[in-house]
Chains A and B, each alone.
Chain A
Amino acid sequence: MSILINNDTKVLIQGITGKEGAFHTGQMVAYGTKVVAGVTPGKAGRSFDGIPVYNTVKDARAATGADTSAIFVPPAFAADAVMEAMDAGVETVVCLTEGIPTFDMIAVRQYMKGRDVKLIGPNTPGVISPGSCKIGVMAGYIHAPGPVGIMSRSGTLTYEVVDQLTKIGIGQSTCVGIGGDPIIGLNFVDLLAMFEKDEDTQAVVIIGEIGGSAEEDAAEYFRRHMTKPVVAFIAGITAPPGRRMGHAGAIVSGGKGTAAEKISALEDAGITVVKDPARVGTTVQNILAGKR
């Protein structure tokens, strides 16, 4: 099994006719994801590679029963698209868009209060449950089904870790990019709770980076609630303070959010922190071997 998405997940794509949306829809379908609908205002009645397109998420849901939305909408309109999906009753929203203004995301988080909905991202490569469902822009073929849950704030660094694992024969239950922005939906703590409950996940990898306190919170949660082993890598030991390292959320400000702080919080909680990014795979291997 997996968390968040599986074989039964019915996906709709907001922004299906855009360049990114179109390309990645094709990739997702090829991977086996059940993409049942697309939404682009003004383009209802058309079909995209056999997928029906609707003007609104509400229409798309009514016609197809889609329960999960992937958002490929430009940054200025993406927050609105997220809220539209939530209003229409979508259970899980995966927002791929990078560059959404922070205040728009504050509005989204307000909008989520009292609604039973999960948001992944924004600025995420997406979510994949290898072998069953991929919602996002990651290359599907590097993944393999297996016992390791991965959660990360970045894209290609996650692929790196996935690749290391797959190459030594260790598959993944679900890989989730939580997003590189300061304000996001699901965080490491939410996902740790899901992985802890997921029967098929035996170990979890956290790929963190400088900025914010998501890793510290994860450490605290681990200390109190987790029984499964967790391995972490934190990027940005060499990052200079006060500079945004690519991701809007990756910044050390006022001496807070440093890699060193995060590493010591994770280690204090009993999480294995890998210092060498080339050795995440083998570290997980050792831990799984020790457990069995």
Chain B
Amino acid sequence: MKIHEYQAKKLLQEYGIPIPRGQIAKTYTEALQTAGKIGRGPFVLKAQIHAGGRGKAGGIKTASSGEDVGRMASEMLSKVLVTTQTGEEGKPVQTLLVEEVLEIGREIYLGIVIDRQKACPVILASSEGGVEIERLAREEPDKVITEAVDPCVGLRPFQANRIFYSLGIDQKLARQAMAIIIGLYRLFIEKDCSLAEINPLVITKEGSLVALDAKVTVDDNALFRHPETAALRDIGQENPLEVEAAKHNLNYIKLKGSVGCMVNGAGLAMATMDLIKLVGAEPANFLDVGGGATSQMVKEGFRILLYDKDVKMIFINIFGGILRCDTLAQGVVDAARELVIDMPIVVRLEGTNVEEGRRILAESGLTFTVATGLEDAAKKVGEIINGYKEGIR
């Protein structure tokens, strides 16, 4: 689960890591009040969205006076911000973080991730902060320091020490830096994070270390033991269809194309999207109704596909294992009867009780295009989509 920068900074603060003075604002008035509390300008206004790339997209602005803060806040708060990471649809700006502007001497990078192969946390650091760490790791790997932590004994002081000295920072900052490295590691472990990142960690002109920007992602599977972190979820940042799907335990991700697809199982769902692309169309979504979906879940999945106004046709691809095809076919038929469906539907069923499932579809009186096998299904989806392209439909 992603959380906002201001929420991440609050966590950092709880772990003794210095952050700039600031406060959030959701309205013009709040922005003015916040500026008043911080004192004299200049100020920085930062759009709180669940995506990076804000600076270049106009999501981070500086204001010289409180008055400017108010004016800019009203402009920014009404916007949907489109950055390189949000996709075309962008993310709504509902909250701003208003902060003091610091005079910066140097920027460094500090982050922690999980190494899947070694099954342990790894601390990443670089004397070049403010840049995308993945790109730096790819292009100039020498500039990224990595320190794998033994999860049994935790981060050892010598490791924090090693990170500090490899960054080439003034010795006077040693204690501060060590406290920040250790604090970030504790936060990462105690809050079940999958990512904790300070980028940049700045050395101010006055000679202190401050977390200028922060990103924390929490392991969804561990949220059950962190109710206080789970409460930080902001559904305003999520696609409404995705929120609706999640309520029904459906794994749904909205995409840009026009072929709505419903599949059981995540791998097959991805493969189905890829197949749609292979026949020259684009998938409208990822939808995994689960390896053990019920007919009710199939119906809810259907409903979500129909809500999506980009969807021009639907492709249902089910491999029934323990979940029987007849149960699924019944779910599809029930849903199609209950909902108004005015678009072509290709259904491909395979697996347990497939004959019975196909019979239910055929006798329903509804017009499904029934495909046998993945190859046939792909062909049929392709024909329908090409029909659209040629303006036949």
- Which A residues form the contact surface with B (CB < 8 A)? 23-24, 27, 75-76, 99-107, 109-110, 125, 137-139, 141-142, 152-160, 163-164, 180, 182-183, 187, 207, 209-210, 212-213, 217, 233, 235-240, 242-250, 253-256, 259, 275-279
Structural contact, A102 and B267, CB atoms closer than 8 A: no
Structural contact, A102 and B221, CB atoms closer than 8 A: yes
Structural contact, A245 and B117, CB atoms closer than 8 A: no
Query: What are 29 inter-chain pairs, A to B, with CB distance below 8 A?
Result: A76-B224, A102-B114, A102-B221, A106-B120, A106-B151, A107-B151, A139-B352, A155-B267, A156-B267, A158-B267, A159-B319, A159-B351, A160-B271, A160-B319, A163-B319, A209-B266, A235-B271, A237-B274, A237-B277, A239-B270, A244-B220, A245-B286, A246-B269, A247-B267, A248-B220, A250-B267, A256-B134, A276-B375, A277-B272
Indicate if B373 sits at the interface (CB-CB under 8 A).
Answer: yes
Structural contact, A142 and B321, CB atoms closer than 8 A: yes
Q: Mark B271-315, 1 if CB is under 8 A from A, else 0.
A: 111111110001100101001000000000000000000000000
B-side contacts of A254, CB under 8 Å: 132-135
Given A101-B221, A110-B151, A250-B267, 18 other A-B residues pairs in contact with their CB atoms under 8 A: A99-B221, A101-B219, A103-B189, A103-B192, A139-B321, A139-B322, A156-B321, A157-B267, A158-B267, A183-B116, A207-B267, A235-B267, A239-B286, A250-B266, A275-B274, A277-B271, A278-B373, A278-B375
Structural contact, B269 and A212, CB atoms closer than 8 A: no
B-side contacts of A256, CB under 8 Å: 134
Structural contact, B265 and A157, CB atoms closer than 8 A: yes
B312-359 at interface with A (beta carbon < 8 Å): 319-322, 350-352
- Which residue of chain B lies nearest to A184 when distances are taken between CB atoms in the complex? B116
- Closest CB pairs A-B (n = 8): A154-B267, A246-B266, A156-B265, A254-B134, A157-B267, A101-B222, A278-B374, A109-B119
| Complex Cα–Cα for A142 and B350 (A) | 10
| Complex Cα–Cα for A141 and B133 (A) | 48
**In the complex, how many angstroms separate the beta carbon of B11 from the nearest chain A beta carbon?**
17
The answer to whether A102 and B277 touch (CB under 8 A), given A240-B87, A243-B253, A256-B134, is no
| Complex Cα–Cα for A104 and B221 (A) | 10
| Complex Cα–Cα for A100 and B223 (A) | 11
